[in-house]
Amino acid sequence: IPVDPFDLVIFGGTGDLARRKILPGLYRRFVAGQMPADSRIIGAARSEMDQAGYRQFVAEALREFIPDLRRAEGLSDFLGTIDYVAIDAQGDGGWAELAGRTRKDVVRAFYFSVAPALFGDLAERLHQHGITDASSRVVVEKPFGRDLATARDLNAVLARHFDETQIYRIDHYLGKETVQNLMAVRFANILFEPLWNSQFIDHVQITVAETVGVGGRGSYYDRSGAMRDMVQNHLMQLLCLIAMEPPYRFDPDAVRDEKLKVIRALDPVRPEDIVRGQYLANGQPGYLEDVENPASRTESYIALKVCISNWRWKGTPFYLRTGKRLRARTSEIAITFREPPHSIFEGEEGWKENVLVIRLQPNEGMNLRVMIKEPGPGGMRLTEVPLDMSFADALGETGADIPDAYERLIMDVIRGNQTLFMRGDEVEAAWAWADPVIEGWEARDDRPRGYDPGTSGPEDALMLLHRDGRRWREIR
Ligand code: NAD
């Protein structure tokens, strides 16, 4: 279904994110017929460039980041929607021109794909030049602060000129098909919800593993680390979707109210429930070389156990882990159910718990491990089979067309649907939980343990679960 015609201004339109994600995403939606041809995409950045130059720049980005572009139609029509204004966020240059180029009678969205330090300048100048009004929308990227104080500052800067209903804070994890499917599975089936509590769920594991190191982002990364870069935002959002109560309606604030309640119910994390690590050198440079700071205590890996103090989850720990240079690139949520209360089978060597795995990558999909009788005449022996639901398979032809997270989220901005965007109070609550954890290890002068690249992280992380009589799932 096409969205309404729009003007989308991309501040930072010549940046890395615009090239890799925003522009290719818009192009795909254009080809899919969702972006109306009378919409306009206006790049706005510091470089001096004219419209033709930027169209060329966009075409190059598409060629680089869309592998099958040559087969694609509509490229010149798409480029026809592209415009450019050279602008200085902190000066006067370009603003009057931008005001003249944006239309008042279409949806107007402003993507702040620039450093957060510029958000205030952009908001101020948009307002000054009368480019925005009460119906305009702003999209902002992570990182949304580095602690509660800075997140509050950013919220305050945006709130000076925009209402909360106009602000779209992107967490691209929320744009993933599987993440939304999680809500459908939980709330559109009678099957799961009655079991969705600590009486029937033993524990939950959330894993986001990467094979890459910090690469060229070393100096940025070293100021943040895995807790700030991944746990406070992405893993926290996943935890919320698993743990939240059913919202009364599939409505942005109803959903976000429930997520907020989960974050507020998180217990403080005990020091013994945290393991931090740094990848070692192994043919390739280790973390300390990558960030060019031999004394760095920033973690490239973190595993922690967190409990939720509410009626539904008391007694079911959530184990979170994320790291770089691990064995495989994989993101998944695994929900392990408890044992049946009474066994009627003798010698159940084959028995294993039911596990529901929600895979975000690779191969988005879900998989439920159930026990059946081992086929054949060998008597009643148990074996496990996966009930497998790969979306690409289940959806046939359309599986290939699953939109990338950015595409979906940008279209949601144009539609004015905030469900998959973080609300200001949610972000602040997540920092209010994360801050004492970080302050705790800083005060203890905690040093991350080294781990070998290509493994599942520091050995100590295994103990986090062993101690509780549980095991991490293999990273593969
Ligand atoms: P980048 O450094 O590649 O690009 C920055 C852009 O901002 C350029 O277009 C530049 O011209 C523009 N800019 C800088 N100063 C300006 C000024 N004074 N006035 C006008 N324009 C100015 O950055 P990026 O990697 O594209 O990241 C943009 C934002 O997105 C950042 O907040 C970043 O944290 C966030 N982000 C990026 C990624 C990614 O993969 N690149 C992922 C998640 C979040």
Element (H or E) spanning 207, and its range?
A: strand 201-209
**Residue pair 21/406 in contact by the 8 Å Cβ criterion:** yes
Residue 71: pLDDT band (50, 70, 90) is low
Work out the average pLDDT over 456-473. 96
Tell me the per-residue pLDDT of 381-425, one tens digit each, with 9 for 90 and over. 889 999 987 766 666 545 456 678 999 999 999 999 999 999 999
* ipTM for the complex shown: 0.98
Q: Give the residues surrounding ligand 1 with Cβ less than 6 Å away.
A: 12-18, 45-47, 87-90, 113-116, 118, 141-143
CA of 395 relative to ligand 1 center, distance in Å: 36
Tell me the per-residue pLDDT of 259-299, one tens digit each, with 9 for 90 and over. 999 999 999 999 999 999 999 999 999 999 999 999 999 99
CA of 17 relative to ligand 1 center, distance in Å: 7
CA of 47 relative to ligand 1 center, distance in Å: 12
What's the CA gap between 41 and 23, in Å, rounded? 9
Q: Name the residue with the closest Cα to ligand 1, atom 9.
A: 12
Q: Name the residue with the closest Cα to ligand 1, atom 1.
A: 15
- Alpha-carbon distances, residue 226 vs 123, 159, 322 (angstroms): 30, 28, 7
The yes-or-no answer on residue 466 being catalytic is no
Work out the average pLDDT over 83-102. 96
Residue 347: pLDDT band (50, 70, 90) is low
- Best mutation site among 16, 41, 114, 169 for ligand 1 pocket (most ligand atoms within 8 Å of CB): 114
Pick the closest to residue 304 from 241, 354, 232, 357 (CA basis): 232
176 annotated to bind ligand: yes
Sign of the torsion angle spanned by Cα atoms 349, 350, 351, 352: positive
Residue 228 token pair: 């700030």
| Residue ranges of E strands in 338-441 | 355-361, 365-373, 382-390
What's the CA gap between 130 and 124, in Å, rounded? 10
**Residue pair 305/463 in contact by the 8 Å Cβ criterion:** no
pLDDT reading at 443 higher than 90? yes
pLDDT of residue 4: 96
- In a 13 Å sphere around the CA of 29, the CA atoms on its Cβ side amount to 29
Q: Which residue has the tokens 């409505």?
A: 251
What's the CA gap between 76 and 63, in Å, rounded? 13
